[in-house]
Amino acid sequence: MCSVPSELHPPQGPRWTRTLGFRLNAWYAFVITTGLAATYLVVALLTSYAVDRADRQIIVAKLEEYRARFEEPALRDLTFELPPSAISVEDEPYLVRVCDADNRALFTHVPASGLVFDESSLVVVTSEDRHMWTRVRSVGDGRTWTIGSALLSNGRNLQIGMSSEHSDRIVNRLRETFVLGFVPLLVLGLVGGAYLTRRALRPIQDLSRTMRAIETSGDLTARVPDRGAADELEDLSKVFNRLISKQERLVTAMRESLDNVAHDLRTPLTRLRGAAEAALSRPPQPEPEQEQHDLREALADCLEESDRVGAMLKTLVDISEAQSGLARLDEASFEFDALAREVLGLYEYVAEARGVKVTHQLEPGVVVFGDKVRLFRAAANLLDNALKYTPAGRAVQVLVRSEDGQAVLEVIDEGIGIEAEDLGRIWERLYRADKSRTEAGLGLGLSFVRAIVEAHGGSVQVNSEPGQGSSFVMRVPQKRETPPADA
């Protein structure tokens, strides 16, 4: 079986008939019309049933009344047709008929309203305890007559008939009432439905208008207006607004990041170019050893600068990979205190050179399952910063402990601290608080720390008081929530 692409069969009809509003209104109209028609049918059926019951009760009463009269000795055994005056029924609006067992009429009173019908269609009763019912259509006025038959004691039948005129009137009145009420009800239903649909769809229209504005202009500041309601659509608008705000922040951060990369790459590249240019424009030295020495020095400078660029680009790639989940973590179990000890060892001479006293308190046996090399680099970044931003004569403290199933590494310093407005931004790529421009750095260390720790399912926090010092806390789960899949 081959499928046909939907574009080959575009939806039929004008555009407005394909809108959700139109379809909802069409459904409203259908449901209201069907509902009203069904109500009318049920009411009409119940009414005609009730009217029919009432008619039969009247006929039964009349049967009893006339049975008593035809059981009187004078009339009991009449053998020929009596004139209606004989039993004074002239004014009676009912058919009164007496017939023998062969349905031959012995007495017939047809009311003034007139009834012409085929008498042979009447049923003759033979059992005493039952009334038989027949419906006949009068040939004259087309009305239906309900005729009840009862057995008299001499085997003859007494038949009383009643015209449907009365019940027809009731049913007709009912129909008229319905037709009169139907139109305004339908109009009211449709107008009300259209109003409610419009109201209900307004948030969706607002939403699509905002989305279209963002799509066409690329302006991420557009937001869906707040209606102040507390329904599902308002919730949808709020989620959308939050999503766009997030997107806006992300795009802004990316733009800034790109600007920063361009800015931060310019310096080492200019220096690289400068070093090469200076070496080339220098007049040749008379002694070949001196010449060689100068050229080597220039090349070493170029190497250093290109290393800086390379390191920066590598860290940027590492961060991106860790953030996007593409980084392949080389995980194994190891002790966190041992890792901290190695980091402390690496920075022992740096601390000494800077005149910063480093103390530690490492809880033994805090086992972590993770990528030791990357976590080492993360911890080293924290200690590196602490030493960089702490003046000589002050102290730095490194703590390792286990807390709520997490391995915690805390680096506390008595350094320059971080201003409140910088606190939220220090985790961004290439962001450096102005004050720290005097210190060498790329502004990538903390972004790397956060990306790596979060790739391990952990978190990193900072507390800082300008002029007093900072504390960076890195938390890594000791056990993975989902064990690694078997290779």
Note whether 436 binds ligand ADP by CB under 6 A: yes
Note whether 470 binds ligand ADP by CB under 6 A: yes
Q: Which stretch binds ligand ADP (CB under 6 A): 234-242, 247-255, 428-436, 473-481?
A: 428-436
Q: Which is nearer to ligand ADP, 369 or 389 (CB)?
A: 389
> What is the pattern of x (binds ligand ADP, CB under 6 A) and - over residues 115-154?
----------------------------------------
Q: Which stretch binds ligand ADP (CB under 6 A): 69-77, 191-199, 265-273, 409-417?
A: 409-417
Q: How far apart are CA 36 and CA 49, in angstroms?
A: 20
Note whether 442 binds ligand ADP by CB under 6 A: yes
Calculated CA dihedral for residues 78, 84, 85, 86, nearest 10 degrees: 10
Structure tokens at 435: 């004050």
Note whether 111 binds ligand ADP by CB under 6 A: no
Among 322, 379, 380, 418, binds ligand ADP (CB under 6 A): 418
Cα separations in angstroms, 221 against 211, 216, 218: 11, 13, 9
CB of 208 to ligand ADP, least distance (A): 41
Strand partners, 464: 470
Say if residues 336 and 400 touch (Cβ distance below 8 Å): yes
Note whether 426 binds ligand ADP by CB under 6 A: yes
Calculated CA dihedral for residues 66, 68, 72, 74, nearest 10 degrees: -10
Long-range CB pairs of 60-65, under 8 A, 24+ apart, other chains included: 60/131, 60/148, 62/94, 62/96, 62/160, 62/162, 63/131, 63/148, 63/150, 63/158, 63/160
Among 446, 455, 474, 476, binds ligand ADP (CB under 6 A): 446
Q: Which is nearer to ligand ADP, 159 or 381 (CB)?
A: 381
Residues 279-338 that bind ligand ADP (CB under 6 A): none
Q: Which is nearer to ligand ADP, 161 or 417 (CB)?
A: 417
Closest CA to 189 of 36, 29, 21: 29
> Distance from CA of residue 428 to its chain's centroid?
33
Among 335, 410, 413, 414, binds ligand ADP (CB under 6 A): 413
Q: How far apart are CA 263 and CA 269, in angstroms?
A: 10
CB of 445 to ligand ADP, least distance (A): 3
Classified as helix, coil or strand, 432 is coil
Task: For residue 339, give the amino acid letter.
Answer: L
CA angle 391, 395, 401 (to 5 degrees): 135
Among 374, 432, 450, 456, binds ligand ADP (CB under 6 A): 432
Structure tokens at 310: 């390379």
Cα separations in angstroms, 305 against 259, 278, 282, 349: 20, 15, 20, 24
Among 445, 451, 455, 478, binds ligand ADP (CB under 6 A): 445
Q: How far apart are CA 323 and CA 444, in angstroms?
A: 13
Q: Which stretch binds ligand ADP (CB under 6 A): 85-93, 220-228, 286-294, 445-453?
A: 445-453
Among 274, 441, 457, 477, binds ligand ADP (CB under 6 A): 441
> What is the pattern of x (binds ligand ADP, CB under 6 A) and - over residues 169-208?
----------------------------------------
Q: Which stretch binds ligand ADP (CB under 6 A): 225-233, 287-295, 331-339, 384-392?
A: 384-392
Q: Which residue bears the tokens 């996007």?
A: 324
Q: Which stretch binds ligand ADP (CB under 6 A): 81-89, 246-254, 276-284, 416-424?
A: 416-424
> What is the pattern of x (binds ligand ADP, CB under 6 A) and - over residues 234-253?
--------------------
> What is the pattern of x (binds ligand ADP, CB under 6 A) and - over residues 34-73?
----------------------------------------
Q: Which is nearer to ligand ADP, 305 or 335 (CB)?
A: 305
Note whether 460 binds ligand ADP by CB under 6 A: no
Note whether 409 binds ligand ADP by CB under 6 A: no
Q: Which residue bears the tokens 């049975």?
A: 67
Say if residues 382 and 449 touch (Cβ distance below 8 Å): yes
Among 406, 415, 475, 478, binds ligand ADP (CB under 6 A): 415
Alpha helices in 325-411 (DSSP H): 336-354, 372-388
| φ and ψ at residue 415, rounded to 5 degrees | -90, -155
Say if residues 252 and 220 touch (Cβ distance below 8 Å): no
Q: Which is nearer to ligand ADP, 264 or 335 (CB)?
A: 264
Q: Which is nearer to ligand ADP, 116 or 353 (CB)?
A: 353
Rule CB under 6 A: which residues touch ligand ADP?
A: 381, 385-386, 389, 413, 415-418, 426, 431-433, 436, 441-447, 470
